[in-house]
Amino acid sequence: MALFMLMGKYSPEAMKAILETGSDREAAAKKALEAAGGKLLGFYGMFGQDYNVAIVAEVPGNAEYIGAIAPALMAGTFAAFKSIPLYTAGDVVKGSQIAKKVGAVYSPPTKSR
């Protein structure tokens, strides 16, 4: 499973609608992620930042992540956003084992004379 953090800045229209209606955007994010085969791990608001919300999600892969966020993006929910791939400590352990195998066969470029 892949981990992603989406940081989003709500559009003025979306922010107005959320504040006027009390819309539960965490529930909406959870439904979207589950429909794409993923899981919502965290949903946080942020004060004094360039972004209003941080969403942490676990999904089977890139395609599922794109499918989960595309409807919100196409609806104009966010004026700006960025997606950040995340990794765990377990990924680092596994990566270090792979690096040892690759290091045994890799040769760096050398200066020509």
Question: In which element (H, E) is residue 42 found?
Answer: strand 39-45
List the chain domain ranges. 2-103
| Structural domain 2-103, CATH architecture | 2-Layer Sandwich (3.30)
Tens digit of pLDDT at every position of the chain (113 positions): 999 999 999 999 999 999 999 999 999 999 999 999 999 999 999 999 999 999 999 999 999 999 999 999 999 999 999 999 999 999 999 999 999 999 999 999 988 76
Structure tokens, 47: 């004060």
pTM (2 decimals)? 0.85
Q: CA of 109: how far to CAs of 4, 30, 59, 97, 106, in Å?
A: 34, 48, 38, 23, 10
